Amino acid sequence: QRSQLRRAYENNVPRHLFTRLSLSVSPPGNTKVSAAVGDSCVLSCPNKSDVFMVIWKINPKTGGHCTLGYRADLKQTNNTNCTENMSWKWRTDHDPTLHIRPVGRASEGNYTCEVVTEEGNFHLTYHLTVLVPPKLTVYCDSRGNPVCKAVAGKPAAQIRWAPESYSSPEKEDHGDGTVTVLSTFMGNGTDVNSTTCLVSHAAMNHNQTIACLSISIPNYNLPGGLFQLPQN
């Protein structure tokens, strides 16, 4: 068992950081976290004293994996294939917290911190979901109906109207995890001068009021029957 564990860790830890590891391995913990594109994200390690080594193992949803390592006795850090937006938040000898700044679409994935102490090896795994705020537009369509559109949000935005509308939102999946949602205010049986679009999303909330001039098409009684003017 000792040789199997040693070979397994030697294959995952940069050799210049590796000396010895305890046989006692703690069961991993899993935590789901989320952050919006452009924000920062902080991920902590198991809180242990007398830390010998810390290794961040990062497996993004797209792209190759990378590692950040720290060996306490040599006060030495190592970065293998990690991008510039991933770094230690503070001095590694005081706090091995990982700082992602800014969060990008490619940041989504699994992040595991492994802390090696005399007591054993302790793991903490995070699954980071990256949120994409939608781009919002509110306008009047050709018939004078208010339209609210939330473009390329992840997850899909929720759209409501005040006063309430009978319309059902239309959704377009872009195949990359983002969804565009469009809702047209169709009225609630009463005449209103203005309406408010209420957009809810995990990364933001937005309200916008719009007043549209509804287009009514007049009917004219002409010889030969009823004639309706075409819509412009």
Sign of the alpha-carbon dihedral angle for 74, 78, 84, 88 = negative
Predicted local distance difference test score (pLDDT) of residue 195: 93
CA dist., res. 36 & res. 129, Å (int)? 8
What mean pLDDT do residues 84-101 have?
86
Predicted local distance difference test score (pLDDT) of residue 168: 87
What mean pLDDT do residues 22-38 have?
70
Looking at the predicted structure, is the pLDDT value of residue 124 above 70? yes
Sign of the alpha-carbon dihedral angle for 191, 192, 193, 194 = negative
Residues 6+ apart with CB under 8 A from 3: none
Q: Render pLDDT for 128-153 as a digit per residue (tens, 0 to 9).
A: 999 999 999 999 999 999 999 999 99
Q: pLDDT band for position 99 (50/70/90)?
A: very high
Predicted local distance difference test score (pLDDT) of residue 214: 63
Q: Render pLDDT for 162-206 as a digit per residue (tens, 0 to 9).
A: 998 888 899 999 999 999 999 999 876 666 789 999 999 999 999
Predicted local distance difference test score (pLDDT) of residue 23: 37
Q: Is 97 exposed, middle or buried (0-12, 13-18, 19+ CB in 10 A)?
A: middle
Predicted local distance difference test score (pLDDT) of residue 21: 37
Residues 6+ apart with CB under 8 A from 223: none
Least confident of 32-36, 70-74, 170-174, 195-199: 70-74
CA dist., res. 79 & res. 94, Å (int)? 18
Computed over every residue of the chain, the mean pLDDT equals 82
Looking at the predicted structure, is the pLDDT value of residue 228 above 50? no
More confident residue, 221 or 175: 175
Number of Cβ atoms within 10 Å of the Cβ of 42:
12
Q: pLDDT band for position 227 (50/70/90)?
A: very low
Q: How far is CA 189 from CA 141, 195, 213, in A?
A: 19, 13, 16
Predicted local distance difference test score (pLDDT) of residue 17: 42
Helix, strand, coil abundance in the chain, percent, nearest 5:
5, 50, 45
CA dist., res. 196 & res. 184, Å (int)? 12
